[in-house]
Amino acid sequence: MSTEATTVHGHGPAPGIMRWITTTNHKDIGTLYLTFSFIMLFVGGAMAMVIRSELAQPGLQIVNPDFFNQMMTLHGLVMIFGVLMPALVGFANWLVPMQVGAPDMALPRLNNWSFWLLVAGMSMLLSTLLMPGGAMEMGWTMYAPQSLQTPFSFAFSIFSIHLMGISSILGSINIIATILNLRAPGMKLLKMPLFCWSWFVTAFLLIVIMPVLAGGVTMLLFDRFFGTSFFDAAGGGSPVLFQHVFWFFGHPEVYVMILPAFGIISEIIPTFSRKPIFGYTAMVYALACISFISFAVWAHHMFTSGMPTAANLFFMYASMLIAVPTGIKIFNWIATMWRGSLTFETPMLFATGFIVTFTIGGFTGVMMALVPADFQYHNSYFIVAHFHYVLAGGTLMALFGGIYYWLPKWTGHMYLERLGKTHFWLTIISLNVLFFPQHFLGLAGMPRRVPDYALQFTDFNLISSIGAFVFGASQLLFLYNVVRTVHRGKQATDRVWEGAHGLEWTVPSPAPYHTFQEAPDVK
């Protein structure tokens, strides 16, 4: 492999905009993914602001119910497929090759293709807003038969889901191929950093579930446009079948969004505790265990659909079982901090905040696994609080922490520490003001996915909306901090954090365009 840099024909980046369109460099593609997800964070966030503005008071003030439902549906899809997953893939692109000592991803051209497929898919999804009849209105779960009542833009939504699914599958193949083939000599699987492990497991999940989603939405497409009756009771189909297909994808999908976040947290906590991760092997097995069980719990989203008692019992027990490996991870993080020498720079603040908020989501998760209790919790604001505690309080917090943690390595500049800490405190406080009252709303009987509600729910909704506005505004600080760090800031050292270990910290900051062209020695 040549070591000479420079020129378009060599190994340097192409000049101008073509660098970003044609790049096959894992760092460039990682940056593209992260930038894309950053933009989408504000798009999806703006939709959330519309939702919370309408819900601040009872009655209809800002949007009509149909547009509210479109916002609610797109908010979910954008946050899942446009923000959390691309951001995590962005981290994987930047970090997996650097952490296993590889020069690039195993399939660089495929890597480029998966990114641009994602952009195409997400753009098409958003464009349905401008089509006659508007975007989908039935929530990201697309339950039949309501989804069969949608305007023709539904076909575009389905096609965009196919595109994003292909993008995820290709990205996953790439990650698995990189990890299996390009590890530096001596980097045994059980020596890999936990972030690589988390993505290794997640990639398998994605490859299994994405075709299932593709199959499910294709059946919807046929029912809607070609006269089949997979999900139409009048034609002999079953609406519940769609729920089974969807959640067989949907539940592992939840773990797709949280497992790499676990990986990020498992990197940050040892660094700022100045201690090795506690129970490395247990952490790896817990990851594998969670992903394995995640295929056997899907129907806990359907406890109220009238399944037989035996099925309800099975899915209750399986869902509760997931709490055990998840608990192991939380205990091991705390044990990693235990008797360490802790400092709380911004990444560590976010990691600690992650444990606090994610654990609340874990507790409500165990409560909802109990079928009879779920008869009350199901589809109420209680579950809205639950999954926002694990996705916003979990994955998003881990993403923020991860950005602050690796940004100096990526850009060569330190971010503004005070601003980062302010961002953290504003985020975690407003997040709790935003989502904690939603538990009360759900228990008191407020359904989810409504643009309007009875007067008794007003107070908590107003508190929640105030929290949402502060939460949204706080992210502008983050935007400023990141954009500023990309351009200037105090020069970062190669190791950046004194407690950091791992191959990515052995290369200069900012990381050169090509790293590990010769495999490093891993002891």
Q: Which is nearer to another protein, 174 or 273 (CB)?
A: 273
Q: Any contact of residue 317 with another protein (CB under 8 A)?
A: yes
Kindly write down the DSSP assignment for every residue of 123-154, as one continuous string: HHHHHGGGSTT-S--STTTT-TTGGGGS-THH
- Name the active-site residue from 128, 266, 411, 465: 266
Q: How many of the chain's residues bind another protein (CB under 8 A)?
A: 105
Please check whether residue 466 is in contact with residue 84, taking contact to mean a CB–CB distance below 8 angstroms: no
Report how far residue 461's alpha carbon sits from residue 444's, in angstroms, rounded to the nearest whole number: 12
Angle between helix 417-444 and helix 381-390 axes, rounded to 10 deg: 160
Q: Any contact of residue 338 with another protein (CB under 8 A)?
A: yes
- Name the active-site residue from 75, 388, 423, 514: 75
What three-state secondary structure class fits 447?
A: strand
Q: Is the dihedral of CA 446, 450, 455, 457 positive or negative?
A: positive
Which residue, among 77, 248, 269, has the nearest Cα to 154 in the 3D structure?
77
Closest approach of another protein to the CB of residue 145, in Å? 5
104 annotated active-site: yes
Q: Count CB-CB contacts under 10 A for residue 385.
A: 26
Closest approach of another protein to the CB of residue 56, in Å? 13
Binding to another protein in span 236-265, by CB under 8 A: 238-240
Which residue, among 86, 108, 83, 137, has the nearest Cα to 26 in the 3D structure?
108
Which residue, among 261, 252, 258, 92, has the nearest Cα to 174 in the 3D structure?
92
Q: Is the peptide bond before 193 cis (omega within 30 degrees of 0)?
A: no
Q: Any contact of residue 273 with another protein (CB under 8 A)?
A: yes
Per-residue string for binding with another protein, 417-456, x by CB under 8 A? Answer: --------x--xx--xx--xx--x--xxxxxxxxxxxxxx
Which residue, among 242, 249, 210, 244, has the nearest Cα to 223 in the 3D structure?
242
- Name the active-site residue from 191, 448, 484, 501: 448
140 annotated active-site: yes
Q: Count CB-CB contacts under 10 A for residue 494.
A: 14
Report how far residue 212's alpha carbon sits from residue 214's, in angstroms, rounded to the nearest whole number: 5
Q: Which is nearer to another protein, 204 or 331 (CB)?
A: 331
Q: Which of 277, 297, 399, 482 binds another protein (CB under 8 A)?
A: 277
Q: Which of 113, 143, 292, 295 binds another protein (CB under 8 A)?
A: 143
Please check whether residue 134 is in contact with residue 151, taking contact to mean a CB–CB distance below 8 angstroms: yes
Report how far residue 259's alpha carbon sits from residue 474's, in angstroms, rounded to the nearest whole number: 26
Kindly write down the DSSP assignment for every residue of 395-442, as one continuous string: IIHHHHHHHHHHHHHHHSB---HHHHHHHHHHHHHHHHHHHHHHHHHH
Q: Which is nearer to another protein, 96 or 355 (CB)?
A: 355
Closest approach of another protein to the CB of residue 258, in Å? 17
> Which range in 26-34, 134-142, 157-165, 292-300 contacts another protein by CB under 8 A?
134-142
300 annotated active-site: yes
Q: Which is nearer to another protein, 28 or 267 (CB)?
A: 267
Closest approach of another protein to the CB of residue 77, in Å? 14
333 annotated active-site: no
251 annotated active-site: yes
Binding to another protein in span 348-367, by CB under 8 A: 352-353, 355-356, 359-360, 363-364, 366-367
CA count, 13 A, side-chain hemisphere, 316: 17
Q: Which of 131, 342, 419, 477 binds another protein (CB under 8 A)?
A: 342
Phi, psi (rounded to 5 degrees) for 314: -55, -50
Q: Any contact of residue 313 with another protein (CB under 8 A)?
A: yes
Closest approach of another protein to the CB of residue 369, in Å? 8
Please check whether residue 229 is in contact with residue 237, taking contact to mean a CB–CB distance below 8 angstroms: yes
Closest approach of another protein to the CB of residue 147, in Å? 9
DSSP state, residue 512: P
Closest approach of another protein to the CB of residue 429, in Å? 6
Q: Any contact of residue 66 with another protein (CB under 8 A)?
A: yes
* Cα angle for residues 19, 26, 45 (degrees, 5° grid): 85
Closest approach of another protein to the CB of residue 381, in Å? 11
Report how far residue 330's alpha carbon sits from residue 152's, in angstroms, rounded to the nearest whole number: 46
Q: Which of 94, 200, 247, 280 binds another protein (CB under 8 A)?
A: 280
Per-residue string for binding with another protein, 148-187, x by CB under 8 A? Answer: -x--------------------------------------
Q: Which is nearer to another protein, 149 or 491 (CB)?
A: 149
DSSP state, residue 511: P
Binding to another protein in span 460-489, by CB under 8 A: 460, 463, 466
Residue with tokens 């659909």: 305
Q: Which of 14, 39, 120, 282 binds another protein (CB under 8 A)?
A: 282
- Name the active-site residue from 167, 178, 271, 291: 167
Binding to another protein in span 211-240, by CB under 8 A: 233-234, 238-240
- Catalytic positions are 75, 104, 140, 167-168, 251, 253, 255, 266, 300-301, 326, 329, 448
